[in-house]
A and B are shown apart, each in its own frame.
Chain A
Amino acid sequence: MVTIHIDNQSYQVEAGANLLQACLSLGLDLPYFCWHPALGAVGACRQCAVKQFKDENDSRGRIVMACLTPAQEGLRISIADPEAHAFRAGVIEFLMENHPHDCPVCDEGGECHLQDMTVMTGHVHRRYRFAKRTFRNQYLGPFLNHEMNRCITCYRCVRFYRDYAGGRDLNAMASHNHVYFGRIEDGVLENEFSGNLAEVCPTGVFTDKTFKAHYTRKWDLQTAPSICVHCGVGCNTLPGERYGTLRRIQNRYHHEVNGYFLCDRGRYGHGFVNSEKRLRQPLLRTEGSETVAPVSPTEALAHLAALCAGPTVIGIGSPRASVEANFALQKLVGPERFFNGMSASDAGLTRLILDILTRRPVRSPSLHDMEQADAVLVLGEDVTNTAPRIALSLRQAVRRAALEIAGARHVPLWHDGAVRDAAQSAKSPLFVATHSATRLDDVAAETWHAAPDDLARLGFAVAHVLNPDAPEVPGLDAETAALAGRIALSLSAAGRPLVVSGTGCGSPAVIRAAANVAMALGRTGQPAELCLVAPECNSFGAALLGGEGIDAALLALERGEAETAIVLENDLYRRADRAAIDRALQAAKHLVVIDHLGHATAAQAELVLPAATFAESSGTLVSSEGRAQRFFKVFAGNGEARESWRWLEEAQRAAGRGNGFDGLDDVIAACAAAHPKLQGIAHAAPSAKFRLLGEKIPRQPHRYSGRTAMLGGINPDWSVAILPLPHTTPHGLQPVADRSPLGRAGEGRGEGVPLIDTSAKGNVPHPNPSPARGRGANERPQINIHEQKPPNDPDTPLAFSMEGYGGAAPAALIPVYWAPSWNSVQALNRFQDEVGGPLRGGDPGVRLIEPGADWIWFSEIPAAFQRRADEWLIVPLYHIFGSEELSPQAPAVAERCPRPYLAMNPADADALGLKAGDQADLRLPEGALRLPVELRGDIAPGMAGLPAGLEGTAGIGLPGWGKIDRETRP
């Protein structure tokens, strides 16, 4: 620690720290643009100017950029110095020369860093009288809107997109005041993290396009802390709601997990919450009827209670439902009749992973830990498409070598430009061994594409080289042995090696091999880090509750061992063979489905109960790090949808054997008591009883508007507020004031006059034309203008209100990032003790999984992959957009989803006489598919790739053997 003097006040800061970061950490207001805690400093914008003095006698000083100045003992600066202040005001004035007069129609308005900084420097009047420079915008795909006129050339976008996220198709072009940030031509931004540009851009050049479609200002959004449900990483998110629909998702900072960035699936996949496929009413199929009819919740619960009283009820849980929902189901049916709802393969793999992570001496790293790794082996997992945020962290891990070089030359690590100059293209070793090419291959030291069994053999071989105690791979070919040697050399030389694998290639051997490598690395020191990617957001939570996979449940139904099945937030058809499910559901007497989306399983159900999505319920999810994290209700929800555990508890109450679950905390307490491994979930976030100065924490910002008018015209039906209103003049009031000097005179009450003045010059048609005649007051829909009581929330310490404790909330409960004079996302600085560090009071969540000490090598080494004469090994190819169940329900994500195809090695295709684009017949045990062929050199001969989880390919057990033929004309 060193002492620095800012405006004659002494402060203690870290030696060598970035001065701007130090000032912000101290809570001082110093404007900046180009610096970003995760991107470092380049000194591009000249906005953070301060005056530096030699000593206390120096009265002249010199202006320096705080973001490029390291904090040294005795450093003496002034932020308030008039010259420094004038310099900053001048910079803003220059930046604003060309900034358009757009704030009212700009999506960034109200949460704009440029607005904040302009106000902070005191610039109010544009003195420059010449023309403003303009640009044409580009189409950048369904996620981002481009409005280049607003650019202040801080270079943050390209520094994030190219330097941090590894994108290639966004660049800075042209020169001087023509600098243009965009693509070479219009087109979809390719990078999986492009959505972060909306948050990284300090002004409105890049804004969220899906949000624009139903735009709401930040101050009008009701927000609550949440967790992403679209993969197993468990990124923290901040969803925002207005008028009963979910409007957008923004990143919620978590130092250990997602930091400042989300992937595009997490940011844009939330559209399923507003989907037309949402179930909003309990539906009951009367005996012998083909159709279902809406019933009241009471009737539905009575029916469910009657079914539960029947002889054998099994419960099929879900890895995408919360721990609490799964536990309530387990409680209802009993542990021995509870199935965790995963496919047979996923259930086995997840159990294996949990076994490894809890009993073997390997540690599951957080994303932040992964970024510190200086050598990485990725074995069999296409992380960019299965757990995208991990790929972004691995890209940072690759930069460790660059940071080391810079460190050796005494370049401060936050000095991004200098670090990149010093290190050039130096990269830490990243080895990617997968069954097909991945998006990380461009930064990999070596890539290897082979069949899952061969990947496993490579892993076992690496482990054996690292530690001769590990079992040797019999019959290893020279090429693989050499590669294993090189990988082992790099990993053993590293100070903090990391192994990444997961359920992606569906092979237990690959996971065991990865575990062997990690154990071989950890022998001498601490447990080595092994990241095993879970397939879904709560795979670990569901698995920790115990229970078999879905195959066992289907078997029980088919054999008649169970009569009634309760399926919780799960579409069975995505998890097993269609025929097997059909057989089981035929055999089942009663099928109850509790879910939020209508799907094939729900269509067969006798009783459907509408569940609340993550945005309308609170609960706990266990990420693939083993971290239990709480998500909170963002809004109360519409229709009869309610938390799954509430339905189950109410059904049990209707049957007279309730568990006494009145709130979420009761479920959590019971769950923690019943499952010692899940004991930690109670500490994932403060309980519902938590109060600050006796008050709850408000979900609505203090500027929340429209409170007394938003309900005014809203029907009890949830959707009315966002549908176009009837174009009427309901009062019969004349819309034109007849006595005022305003507008044109109308004729008299009760008549209504044309609202569009067609005689006006230009005659621009009104975008939302209203008909000429109004309706009478008695025709107005029945409305209630009384302000309603905000919904009660017994489950959390957050309130559906703008009233409550306005100060700093604990990290797990922060509903919005805002601080006086900091309206943009950068207000986050005010919630961290040290900018870029953990949130004040510690990052939320509890790690449930810690390393064990069972030093037992896995020795089940598979034989090398042998191609078959007339069959191909069909491996799953994952797609960030499409392979997951819920996100394709969002229209923007659906636009990016691929159509099913068959990827083959060109040589194999040639042998079959197939060319790219030809239709091929793929015959699998599950059935036949006709697919267009794509030629992919990265798929080994004897294998073929099929996109996983798409409509048409979901439910197929991959990898598996299949026959491929040329299209046979029927």
Chain B
Amino acid sequence: MNAILNSLRTMGLIFLHAFRKRATILYPEKKPYIPPRWRGRIVLTRDPDGGERCVACYLCAVACPVDCIALQATEDGQGRRYPEFFRINFSRCIFCGYCEEACPTYAIQLTPDFEMCEYDRRALVYEKEDLLIAGPGKHPGYNFYRVAGLAIAGKDKGEAENEAPPVDVRGLMP
């Protein structure tokens, strides 16, 4: 008798679940909420004034545990460094975020986008043109060259943050 009551109670409970709020969603018609710090598709961001943030320091590449980032540094005529090419092989990427952690200029960032399926594995190799976005991403105000000592176009020696004007080496004053 007890066993029958138990079964009925169980069935009742299960029936009540039909009126609960659903845990599953109808993906892809409905998109799930992804927190902003989700480690998804990698992008390269830009300075607040529009310049490429990546200075091609190779730190993301060396931090990458699966060695899926390759780049080559180059320089414009006025001292600003940027990657001549920047390639991420997403078929190898494990989205660990070490590259973002290593990046000294906030250039490389992981985004809340995980929808990267391709029918062709080769299409998972992203070049710089595929990675660059138009904005600064998570760190809107930061501009590496404003704090670095290197002179670039539009920022001479001594014009960076917290820098004194260049020393006059021919001056006799103490």
Please list the residues of chain A having a beta carbon within 8 angstroms of any beta carbon in chain B: 100-105, 109-110, 129-137, 147, 149-150, 173-176, 178, 180, 182, 212, 214-217, 219-220, 243, 703-710, 712-713, 721-722, 724-725, 727-731, 733, 735-737, 739-744, 753-758, 760-764, 766-768, 770, 774, 777, 780, 783-785
B29 at the interface (CB under 8 A from A): no
Q: Which of A129, A710, A774 has the most CB of B within 10 A?
A: A710
**Complex CA–CA separation, A176 to B123 (angstroms):** 58
Shortest Cβ distance from residue A681 to the other chain B in the assembled complex, whole angstroms: 38
Known contacts A178-B169, A709-B68, A727-B129; A105/B92 CB under 8 A: no
Shortest Cβ distance from residue B98 to the other chain A in the assembled complex, whole angstroms: 12
**Nearest opposing residue in chain B for A722, CB measure:** B72
**Complex CA–CA separation, A785 to B126 (angstroms):** 11
Main secondary structure, interface of B, reads loop
Known contacts A215-B73, A737-B41; A709/B132 CB under 8 A: no
**Complex CA–CA separation, A266 to B15 (angstroms):** 84
- Let me know if A742 and B125 touch, CB within 8 A: no
Shortest Cβ distance from residue A788 to the other chain B in the assembled complex, whole angstroms: 13
Shortest Cβ distance from residue B162 to the other chain A in the assembled complex, whole angstroms: 5
Shortest Cβ distance from residue A249 to the other chain B in the assembled complex, whole angstroms: 19
- Let me know if B111 and A105 touch, CB within 8 A: no
- Let me know if B46 and A757 touch, CB within 8 A: yes
**Complex CA–CA separation, A408 to B18 (angstroms):** 101
Shortest Cβ distance from residue A97 to the other chain B in the assembled complex, whole angstroms: 11
**Nearest opposing residue in chain B for A243, CB measure:** B72
**Complex CA–CA separation, A744 to B91 (angstroms):** 26
- Let me know if B51 and A709 touch, CB within 8 A: no
Of B2-10, B20-28, B81-89, the stretch lying at the interface with chain A is: B81-89
**17 further A-B pairs in the complex, CB-CB below 8 A; given A721-B72, A735-B131:** A104-B104, A130-B162, A149-B157, A174-B171, A216-B58, A220-B61, A704-B67, A706-B68, A709-B68, A713-B127, A728-B127, A729-B129, A742-B135, A757-B134, A766-B50, A770-B129, A777-B120
The 7 A-B pairs with the shortest beta carbon distances in the complex, nearest first, are A100-B149, A743-B135, A706-B70, A762-B49, A104-B57, A705-B61, A709-B70
Query: Number of residues in B with C-beta < 8 Å to the partner?
Result: 87
Taken residue by residue from 49 to 70, chain B's Cβ proximity to chain A (1 for < 8 Å, 0 otherwise) reads as 1111001111101101011111
B39 at the interface (CB under 8 A from A): no
- Let me know if B163 and A173 touch, CB within 8 A: no
- Let me know if A709 and B89 touch, CB within 8 A: yes
- Let me know if A703 and B62 touch, CB within 8 A: yes
Known contacts A175-B174, A706-B71; A785/B89 CB under 8 A: yes
**Complex CA–CA separation, A707 to B82 (angstroms):** 21
**Complex CA–CA separation, A774 to B158 (angstroms):** 40
**Complex CA–CA separation, A777 to B122 (angstroms):** 9
**Complex CA–CA separation, A727 to B129 (angstroms):** 7
Can you list 30 A-B pairs with a CB-CB distance of less than 8 A? Answer: A102-B148, A103-B57, A104-B104, A109-B57, A131-B163, A131-B164, A134-B157, A135-B166, A147-B150, A149-B157, A178-B171, A219-B58, A706-B68, A706-B69, A709-B68, A709-B69, A721-B85, A725-B127, A730-B129, A733-B130, A735-B131, A740-B36, A740-B111, A740-B112, A742-B43, A742-B135, A742-B138, A755-B132, A762-B49, A764-B51
- Let me know if B69 and A705 touch, CB within 8 A: yes
Shortest Cβ distance from residue A244 to the other chain B in the assembled complex, whole angstroms: 11
- Let me know if B149 and A708 touch, CB within 8 A: no
- Let me know if B122 and A780 touch, CB within 8 A: yes
**Complex CA–CA separation, A713 to B144 (angstroms):** 29
**Complex CA–CA separation, A135 to B171 (angstroms):** 13
- Let me know if B48 and A760 touch, CB within 8 A: yes
Shortest Cβ distance from residue B128 to the other chain A in the assembled complex, whole angstroms: 7
- Let me know if A174 and B169 touch, CB within 8 A: yes
- Let me know if A785 and B62 touch, CB within 8 A: no
Chain B residues within 8 Å of A768, by CB: 52, 76, 82, 84
Chain B residues within 8 Å of A758, by CB: 50
Which of B31, B125, B128 lies in contact with A709, CB distance below 8 A?
Answer: B125
**Nearest opposing residue in chain B for A133, CB measure:** B164
Known contacts A740-B111, A761-B49; A754/B134 CB under 8 A: yes
- Let me know if B88 and A785 touch, CB within 8 A: no
Chain A residues within 8 Å of B74, by CB: 214-215
Q: Which of B55, B127, B138, B157 has the most CB of A within 10 A?
A: B127
Which of A103, A136, A712 lies in contact with B70, CB distance below 8 A?
Answer: A712
Chain A residues within 8 Å of B68, by CB: 706, 708-709
- Let me know if A724 and B62 touch, CB within 8 A: no
Shortest Cβ distance from residue A716 to the other chain B in the assembled complex, whole angstroms: 15
- Let me know if A219 and B149 touch, CB within 8 A: no
Chain B residues within 8 Å of A741, by CB: 36
Chain B residues within 8 Å of A756, by CB: 50, 134
- Let me know if B49 and A725 touch, CB within 8 A: no
Chain A residues within 8 Å of B105, by CB: 104
Chain B residues within 8 Å of A713, by CB: 85, 87, 125, 127
Which of A105, A135, A784 lies in contact with B81, CB distance below 8 A?
Answer: A105
Q: Which of A102, A104, A147, A721 has the most CB of B within 10 A?
A: A104
- Let me know if A757 and B157 touch, CB within 8 A: no
- Let me know if B92 and A709 touch, CB within 8 A: yes
Which of B45, B52, B113, B147 lies in contact with A739, CB distance below 8 A?
Answer: B113
- Let me know if B133 and A736 touch, CB within 8 A: yes
- Let me know if B127 and A767 touch, CB within 8 A: no
Chain A residues within 8 Å of B122, by CB: 780, 783-785
**Nearest opposing residue in chain A for B167, CB measure:** A178
Known contacts A132-B149, A713-B85; A767/B111 CB under 8 A: no
- Let me know if A135 and B125 touch, CB within 8 A: no
**Complex CA–CA separation, A131 to B165 (angstroms):** 9
Which of B49, B59, B127, B147 lies in contact with A730, CB distance below 8 A?
Answer: B127
Which of B41, B56, B123, B131 lies in contact with A777, CB distance below 8 A?
Answer: B123
**Complex CA–CA separation, A130 to B161 (angstroms):** 11
Known contacts A706-B61, A735-B133; A725/B85 CB under 8 A: yes
- Let me know if B150 and A735 touch, CB within 8 A: no
- Let me know if A783 and B104 touch, CB within 8 A: no
Chain B residues within 8 Å of A214, by CB: 72, 74
Shortest Cβ distance from residue B140 to the other chain A in the assembled complex, whole angstroms: 10
- Let me know if B157 and A740 touch, CB within 8 A: no
Chain A residues within 8 Å of B169, by CB: 135, 173-174, 178, 180, 182
- Let me know if A104 and B55 touch, CB within 8 A: yes
Chain A residues within 8 Å of B69, by CB: 705-706, 709
B75 at the interface (CB under 8 A from A): yes
**Complex CA–CA separation, A174 to B170 (angstroms):** 7
- Let me know if B50 and A737 touch, CB within 8 A: no
- Let me know if A150 and B149 touch, CB within 8 A: yes
Chain B residues within 8 Å of A212, by CB: 75
- Let me know if B162 and A216 touch, CB within 8 A: no
Chain B residues within 8 Å of A243, by CB: 72
- Let me know if B134 and A134 touch, CB within 8 A: no
**Nearest opposing residue in chain B for A215, CB measure:** B73
CB under 8 Å from chain A, chain B span 86-100: 87-89, 91-92
Which of B52, B104, B125 lies in contact with A785, CB distance below 8 A?
Answer: B125
Taken residue by residue from 137 to 165, chain B's Cβ proximity to chain A (1 for < 8 Å, 0 otherwise) reads as 11000001001111101100110101111
Known contacts A705-B61, A774-B129; A134/B121 CB under 8 A: no
**Complex CA–CA separation, A109 to B58 (angstroms):** 10
- Let me know if A728 and B129 touch, CB within 8 A: yes
**Complex CA–CA separation, A243 to B85 (angstroms):** 12
- Let me know if B148 and A105 touch, CB within 8 A: yes
Known contacts A132-B163, A135-B166; A742/B72 CB under 8 A: no
Chain B residues within 8 Å of A722, by CB: 72, 84
Known contacts A135-B167, A737-B41, A785-B91; A767/B52 CB under 8 A: yes
Known contacts A132-B149, A135-B157, A709-B125; A105/B57 CB under 8 A: yes
**Nearest opposing residue in chain B for A783, CB measure:** B122
**Complex CA–CA separation, A389 to B121 (angstroms):** 53
Chain B residues within 8 Å of A135, by CB: 157, 166-167, 169
- Let me know if B111 and A133 touch, CB within 8 A: no
Known contacts A728-B129, A761-B49; A134/B113 CB under 8 A: no
